[in-house]
Amino acid sequence: MFIIVSKYIFQIRDTYKLQIHIELKMEFTQEEVDILKRYVSSTSSNIFVLTGLPGIIGAAFARYSRASAGVRETLLREFIIDGNIDSKKADGFIRRILLAYGDDSVGELEGAHLALEQISILATKEIEDRRIGGSPIEQSTRYVEYDTKDENGRFRFLREQNVMNSEFGGLYESTLTRVFEIYADIIPKLKEFFKKIKPLSEAEYAIKLNDLDKYNFSELNDDVERKAFMRTYETDIKTKSCDTARFLLPAATFTNMGVFANGRYFQNLLTHLYTLGVSEMNDIAKKSHQALDTVMMQYVKRAEKNEYLSEIELKMQILVDSLLKGVQPNNETEVVLLDNPRTDSEYINSLISVMIYSYSKHPMRQLRKIVSELPQEKKAEIIETYIGDRHNRRNRPGRALEFGYPLTFDLIGDFGIYRDLERHRILTQQRQRLGTELGYVIPPEIEEAGLKNKVEEAFEKSDKLYHLLKKDFSYESQYAVLLGYNVRWTFGMNPREAGHLMELRTIPQGHHNYRTLTREMSNQVLLRYPELSSLLKFVDHNNYYWGRADSEAGQRRKGG
């Protein structure tokens, strides 16, 4: 039943007035309380958590927009029969909302945790690049050594179905196997190398509880502290070795990841993976779809291959290949802060350049110049091809149309750098496909440790395999590319996101390579906009050779 709470007195300018305040509050019976306790954190508070209702919470919350009662009352009245949830009714309600009413926002009211194991590093980028509505976490190449083999004695990398069934299958297997042999061989050698640079007797860590002073091993008498010191030292050496060696891993490397996301994200993700038309991505989509059907079937019901986007991909690649035929990419510096368009015509030219970008291997400034010299008919053709024939409002063109952020960078860095930076959400980005054309950079420690020849062998084999695959397997050829090869991508962001990204990605424990690139990004922002110096106050321009050491010691101090 409903209770009316009323009557309190307050004073305004020495005049007392009676204020009637009416609050409608549901008073539940004991039987109802017992039922609700299984599903809500409180039966009396106006703020509470729902739990134990997979696939139901979204339906219950959706009623907020169409009912005067609260969600607990809605559960009792509409979704609970004889003390139990009527999942069939909830399923039907969501189906009507999502399909009949077309209310996509309801898809964000239900979430799920999806685990994806033994998928390629390349696949994780396709998943993480959806970015809005999902929170991913991925196995770290900085902490995990990828030198183990499966039950059949094979290194853990994707044997792409179409490639393995082709004339290149044997070469693909032998090439990536050899790359992993080299990786597995240099990991212990790097550990020995770094132990010579930083022997146990010289290492110092702030390992004591509530004490930020650093001590070496000989100064510790407590067994717990000595054990924590040794664990920190071994992790320090391991992460430095993995940091250095990770550039040898191919994009085909198997990894694990988890994603927590809402229904709209998952539906868009599955559609994207289905649309790619690549065997691994299609397999991930199918298995993910089956898994998500068990907890949120109606939320991913519309996920399927999008013929509209598939057709655009094909037509744009053909158009760009024709447009840039015989045009060699210009050399560019690693970090370019692009000029903003000053006129409407410059904006359109820049927008068209962004449309072309991901289908090319050319830097953005070169593309802008090429586009500016095109006749209007060709510019119109590019725009029309990129947007395509939209049969309904759900057919939305690609990310190039997000162009227009005040800070837009054209970047070159190894794929390992990109993997660390691309997860930022409050920005727009486009990546060109992985390849070997932009070359690679070998960490100086590799040469100092006498491992350069082996490493160069791996890159040569990767380059050869990539070029052999590229003609017949344009997308799949990326699996052969090592993380150390450079890739070109753009970041468009507002100043607030720039401050967040640049301060976060220059912290001491960050990887040296992306810290270097991000610092240069901040330098170029300040060169153009010195007024933003306070926004980038905590960008760390110092160098930290053992950047992870203090972070690891901090975990030990906290009992980690």
pLDDT of 103 reads 65
Say how far apart CA 379 and CA 329 lie, in whole Å. Answer: 20
Q: Is residue 119 part of a domain?
A: no
- For strands 134-138 and 254-262, give the pairing: antiparallel
What is the SS3 assignment for 8?
Answer: strand
Say how far apart CA 219 and CA 178 lie, in whole Å. Answer: 45
Number of structural domains the chain divides into:
1
Say how far apart CA 290 and CA 91 lie, in whole Å. Answer: 16
Q: Is residue 222 part of a domain?
A: no
Q: Is residue 294 part of a domain?
A: no
Say how far apart CA 232 and CA 550 lie, in whole Å. Answer: 9
pTM for this model (two decimals)? 0.89
Strands, DSSP E only, in 218-331? Answer: 254-262
Q: Is residue 189 part of a domain?
A: no
Token pair, residue 234, equals: 């071994």
Q: Is residue 12 part of a domain?
A: yes
Q: Is residue 244 part of a domain?
A: no
Smallest CA-to-CA distance from 161 within 539, 487, 476 is with 476
Buried/exposed code over 291-305 (b: 16+ C-beta within 10 A; e: otherwise): bbeebbebbbbebeb
Say how far apart CA 266 and CA 294 lie, in whole Å. Answer: 13
Whether the Cβ atoms of residue 183 and residue 248 lie closer than 8 Å to each other: yes
Smallest CA-to-CA distance from 203 within 243, 238, 230, 224 is with 230
Q: Is residue 96 part of a domain?
A: yes
CA distances from 553 to 68, 203, 222, 316, 550 (A): 54, 12, 16, 51, 5
Say how far apart CA 212 and CA 192 lie, in whole Å. Answer: 28
Q: Any idea what DSSP says for residue 99?
A: I
- List all residues 6 or more positions away from 133 whose beta carbon is below 8 Å from its beta carbon: 108, 261, 262, 264, 265, 268
Whether the Cβ atoms of residue 159 and residue 151 lie closer than 8 Å to each other: no
Say how far apart CA 58 and CA 94 lie, in whole Å. Answer: 8
Distance of alpha carbon 121 from the chain centroid: 11
Say how far apart CA 59 and CA 90 lie, in whole Å. Answer: 6
For the four alpha carbons of 140, 146, 148 and 150, in that order, the dihedral sign comes to positive
What is the SS3 assignment for 107?
Answer: helix
- For strands 24-26 and 2-4, give the pairing: antiparallel
Say how far apart CA 285 and CA 268 lie, in whole Å. Answer: 11
CA distances from 263 to 299, 428, 499 (A): 5, 22, 31
Token pair, residue 525, equals: 């922002």
What range does the domain containing 87 cover?
Answer: 2-109
Q: Is residue 8 part of a domain?
A: yes
- What's at 91, amino acid-wise? D
- List all residues 6 or more positions away from 38 whose beta carbon is below 8 Å from its beta carbon: 52
What is the SS3 assignment for 84?
Answer: strand
State the 10-residue block means of pLDDT for the chain, 560 residues long. 39 43 63 93 92 81 79 88 81 70 75 95 94 90 92 96 97 98 97 96 90 91 92 93 95 96 94 96 97 90 94 97 96 95 97 98 98 98 96 90 96 93 88 96 93 96 98 97 97 95 92 92 97 96 80 62
Taking 3-state DSSP, the helix, strand and coil percentages for the chain, each rounded to the nearest 5, stand at 50, 15, 35
Say how far apart CA 5 and CA 7 lie, in whole Å. Answer: 7
